[in-house]
Amino acid sequence: MNSLAFSVGNYTPRNLSAPNTTLPTKNLDTTKVSTTKFSSHRQENFSQQLQPKESQAFFKRREAIGLGFCTGFLNVLLQQQLTATAEEAPCELTVAPSGLAFCDRVVGTGPEAVKGQLIKAHYVGKLVSGKIFDSSYNRGKPLTFRVGVGEVIKGWDQGILGGDGIPPMLAGGKRKLKLPPELAYGMRGAGCKGGSCIIPPDAVLLFDVEFIGKA
């Protein structure tokens, strides 16, 4: 009796407690049909909730993999943006007593160079106009030389080894150098042919130097 009342949804205990109260056969049949429909509906909902554990595990793994991929991809993009921002950020030059100006874009974490040591360095050389006259990156090979013994221009030796108010570069570091003519190619210039020079006489030069380390 309680199950029938729950199925129909209009059960009133006071009416059923009357001595002469009876349920017509038609109503009873309808109630049974209603009970059957309700039970089938509950069974359908219950069966829908019983999904195989394998399917649930598959979707969880797929979601986890997708989330991990998106997170990793975003981290890569973020790291690239941070690196680009660091390299493109304005660099305030400090002028040493010698006239050489420098600014560390990236401070290295390796050892500093020692005078006479064979080292490797990448660089980009520019005129103050912004015109690039040389780049080891374009050649795909760093410059190898002995530092501090006159194999390169004075500004390079001083800019890498340090001294005269300039801290030494550490391996892995990137430094911007601004060289006055007396620490670069002076009055003669460089790459001169037929009255024109790649580096004009008395030119102030800008270098972006990456000290890779000892060769």
Q: Report residue 191 as tokens.
A: 């790459």
pLDDT(31) > 50 = no
Catalytic one among 123, 166, 208, 211?
123
Catalytic one among 102, 145, 185, 211?
185
- What pLDDT was estimated at residue 63? 53
Catalytic one among 199, 207, 208, 211?
207
Residues 100-110 pLDDT 10s: 999 999 999 99
Q: How many CA atoms lie within 13 A of 78 on its CB side?
A: 6
pLDDT(57) > 80 = no
Catalytic one among 38, 104, 134, 212?
134
pLDDT(215) > 90 = yes
123 counts as catalytic: yes
Q: Using CA atoms, how far apart are residues 27 and 35, in angstroms rounded to an integer?
A: 12
Q: Using CA atoms, how far apart are residues 102 and 166, in angstroms rounded to an integer?
A: 8
Mean pLDDT of 49-75: 49
Q: Using CA atoms, how far apart are residues 120 and 14, in angstroms rounded to an integer?
A: 100
137 counts as catalytic: no
Indicate the pLDDT class of residue 32, thresholds 50, 70 and 90.
very low
Backbone angles phi, psi at 28, to 5 degrees: -65, -40
Residues 147-195 pLDDT 10s: 999 999 999 999 999 999 999 999 999 999 999 999 999 999 999 999 8
pTM of the model: 0.61
- What pLDDT was estimated at residue 54? 53
58 counts as catalytic: no
46 counts as catalytic: no
Q: Higher model confidence: residue 174 or residue 58?
A: 174
- What pLDDT was estimated at residue 12? 37
132 counts as catalytic: no
Beta bridge partners of 127: 205
Catalytic one among 104, 153, 198, 202?
153
Residue 77: exposure state from Cβ atoms within 10 A (0-12, 13-18, ≥19): exposed
Residues 82-137 pLDDT 10s: 444 445 567 899 999 999 999 999 999 999 999 999 999 999 999 999 999 999 99
Catalytic one among 38, 104, 133, 202?
133
Beta bridge partners of 101: 95, 178
Query: Percent of the chain having pLDDT more than 90?
Result: 56
- What pLDDT was estimated at residue 183? 98
160 counts as catalytic: no
